[in-house]
Amino acid sequence: MKKTLTVAAALLASVGFVGAAQARDQIRIVGSSTVYPFATTVAEAFGKLGKFKTPVVESTGTGGGMKLFCAGIGPDFPDIANASRRIEPSEVEFCGKNGVTGITEVVIGYDGIVLVDSIKGPKFALTRDQLYKATAKDVVVDGKLVPNPYTTWADINPSLPKEPIVIYGPAPNHGTRDAFVELVMDPACKAQPEIKALDKDAQKKACQTVREDGSWVEVAENYTTIYQKIVSSPAALGVITFSYLDQNADKIQAATVDGQIATYDNIATGKYPVSRPLFFYVKKAHVDQIPGIKEYISEFTSDKAWGPNGYLVGKGLISLPDANRKTEAANAAKLGDLKM
């Protein structure tokens, strides 16, 4: 019965879309602030070709973008969602409930999450365990899970700077926040025997809840706000992406993580431990209704854009290996179905 209702909803949405043809002649893209500069650059290059209007790209955060993307079919809803993490099963389910059942996933490349401070500040060499201890609300001390007692970096390890722990990080609607939790906090936290002994819900709470005492400062805006905060507070750290570091290396510097430096090659090969793939998702029901979607996808997945010498690399994108790019481009061109 539920499946029948979902199909009916999709058909009604599709009919409504056709009835509203020509209501929008411009591609609308929402989602990740990390993917935003890449999508914007492609949109501008695409618009300059003169065949279609330049797409409208909005930076809403990955989670916010998925909510908008999955809300329905028709000119009132976005055509493409950018994401700095993979779409979640709960989001696919939400899409389905609203008739968004045909989705194509495209992996566009890689990015690294970096911990940066002002070039006028100390040079940090950190481990994921130290970062977990600096950011988690509760940590294990002497075999017990207790409210985080660490106030300076030197409290965690005497070799670290005797500076207050202040980290400006993205709010929960950002895919970068999700990736920081997944790639930094979770593995360091779950490696401890005291955490392993907890049930799954207790583990999740212990490992994924950031502190609320002022040491972790949530920033709901984009990376520019984090950048401004750390430039004006040289001892503070900020959680941003490699692409943003790459564009501002004259003012900020990155900490090493587990002894590895965030570089193009280290991220591309997986040597740098805090790296992740980037995505965009296409609403297939819109492809024949909103002009230019196929052509925009073709521009994005062309070697001149996302190739190792493409214009997106100049913006900080870490290009996929040749074989992977070929596979992704072929899947994008045929609008292959999302496989979870």
What pLDDT is attached to residue 312? Answer: 94
Residue 316 pLDDT level (bands cut at 50, 70, 90) = confident
With H, G, I as helix, E, B as strand and everything else as coil, classify residue 70: coil
Tokens standing for residue 60: 């809403």
Residues of the chain above pLDDT 70, percent: 93
Q: List pLDDT tens digits, range 140-177.
A: 999 999 999 999 999 999 999 999 999 999 888 788 88
With H, G, I as helix, E, B as strand and everything else as coil, classify residue 228: helix
> Does the global pTM surpass 0.75?
yes
Alpha carbon distance 41, 265 (integer Å):
22
Residues for the chain: how many in total?
A: 340
Q: What is the mean pLDDT of residues 119-143?
A: 96
Burial class (CB in 10 A: 0-12, 13-18, 19+), 31: buried
Neighbours of 322 (CB within 10 A): 11
Tokens standing for residue 26: 């411009």
Q: What is the mean pLDDT of residues 12-16?
A: 50
Which residue type occupies 242?
Answer: F
The 3-state secondary structure of 236-288 reads: CEEEEEHHHHHHCCCCEEECEECCECCCHHHHHCCCCCCEEEEEEEEEHHHCC
Compare 137 and 9 and report the one with higher pLDDT. Answer: 137
The CATH H-level (homologous superfamily) assignment of domain 2-110+277-333 is Periplasmic binding protein-like II (3.40.190.10)
Q: List pLDDT tens digits, range 98-120.
A: 999 999 999 999 989 999 999 99
Note the helical H segments in 87-152. Answer: 89-97, 128-135
Tokens standing for residue 192: 């401890």
Mean pLDDT of the chain: 91
CATH class name, domain 112-275: alpha beta
With H, G, I as helix, E, B as strand and everything else as coil, classify residue 338: coil
Residue 17 pLDDT level (bands cut at 50, 70, 90) = low
Tokens standing for residue 73: 């079919």
Alpha carbon distance 82, 63 (integer Å):
10
Pairing label, strands 103-118, 28-31: unpaired
Structural Rg of the chain based on CA atoms: 21
Positions of CATH 3.40.190.10 in the chain = 2-110+277-333, 112-275
Residue closest to 274 by CA, chosen among 286, 263, 284: 263
| Sole residue written with tokens 């929402």 | 30
Long-range CB pairs of 328-335 (<8 Å, 24+ gap) are 328/106, 328/107, 328/108, 328/301, 329/301, 329/302, 331/104, 331/105, 331/106, 332/104, 332/106, 332/282, 332/297, 332/298, 332/300, 332/301, 333/297, 333/298, 333/301, 335/102, 335/104, 335/282, 335/284, 335/287
